[in-house]
Structure 1
Amino acid sequence: MTGSLLVAMGMFALLGESNLVYADTAATTASDDVQSMTSKATVTFEQGTLSLEAVPSFDFGNHITRSDVNFPSLPATNLIKDGDAVSTITNTDYMKNSSYLHIVDQRGLWSSDANASDFTWSLSLSGTTPLDANKAPLKEATLSFPANKDTTFPITGFWSHPTVTGGNVKTIPVGAVGSTNTLIQVSTVPISLDGTPASKPIFSLANNSKVNDEAIQNGGDFFIDVGPQGSGMMKVPTASQTEGVYKSTLTWTLSAGL
């Protein structure tokens, strides 16, 4: 009995040791078959940008000297229309015969605690003294954007929602600075073409959510079409008018806020 018991105990001890070894081996095998690694999930938010994408040129025509002092801009061939696709308007071939400003506002949705002025913008303008081919200056010339006799403007404004890629534009109202029923506001103060910056912004997006809440809150693509005839006006005193083709370089500057 004693021997048998010793044998039994010996077998138990041997089996116990074998079981411990087997357990260690199994753990190692499982670790080799199932592996894990770590990685990261990251999201970044930043304020969208406000950018000036296109600016217009003007042709004030060919005139007999001293025939007048006010010279309205000639019409562009391509004029933006309500419902036009943004992709069409910004097409290179279309732009060749157009005259408009294009502002893209990607600063994001207007949160409930945002300051409304954060989502307005203004455009200032300066122009060099017009020179002819011999660098002779056209003195005392000015450029302005006058209203019609009924206080409307030849200039037209358009907007497209920022979340609609290649969306269509909608007409937005244009009026004089301080008007309460417009979004795009126009200063009629003449700009001296002598390199001096204008004292006031020429165009601005006013905080007028009553007119178009979507545009003022969401941003998007804004177009100011100065292609219609008479959108711009150059004034040149008769004493300054001498034969020649005179060219001025216009500099447009976009700023956030009013």
Structure 2
Amino acid sequence: MTALLAIESLSVAYGHVEAVSGVSLGVDAGEIVTVIGANGAGKSTLLNAALGLLPAAQGTVRFDGRDMAAVEAEDRVGLGLCLVAEKRELFGTMTVEDNLVLGGFRTERRLAAETLGAVFDRFPRLKERRGQLAGTLSGGERQMLAMGRALMSRPRLLMLDEPSLGLAPKIVADIFAIIADLRASGVAILLVEQNARAALNAADRGYVMELGRISIEGTSATLAGDPRIAASYLGVGHG
């Protein structure tokens, strides 16, 4: 079966500094895949390159079998590949509802209205605050809004960059419950996350990224049971 997202031998550089080096990974339809690693490992760069926000120095990104080399970022979104950035990038002086509507700007009007209703059903808190300025939301609400705005584009694969960053444990649990629910509804997920324990609990498979390269890959159960990963990322000592 062809992977929904297939990244092959991808390298990305900032000037003469290679941030991602020869990375290959895949995400199948209906699957949650996580990339874990320390801050600065190249995880966000990988996602930005997958969406076309950063140019690849070499390698390929294929979505649903199609080479994305000549496809602009906004057109990749139109094909069903979407990113929720770490900084969430909301329009703080616009209302919750207006932020969501912007997320569906490429969607036919009837479908956009239908999708907005579905987003409000999934995030009741956003519906309650639909007229509130996005800049006045709590951290958890902003993350929900960023995810809701991405869902307005009706993605087939949602890339999430550090969705739990800076959030209280209860909100983190809520966010990961939403991630599981999205997969159940048919949306594939590529999850970049420093909270390795939560990420591996949610994902089917995972990759460990270190210094711009994939160092280990496997099922989530295999990675969670690896002593090196337990010691480095799960806070479990050995020996």
TM-score bracket for this pair, using the shorter chain length? under 0.3
TM-score (ref. length: structure 1):
0.19
Q: Could you say which structure has the higher helix fraction?
A: 2
Structure with larger Rg: 1
TM-score (ref. length: structure 2):
0.21
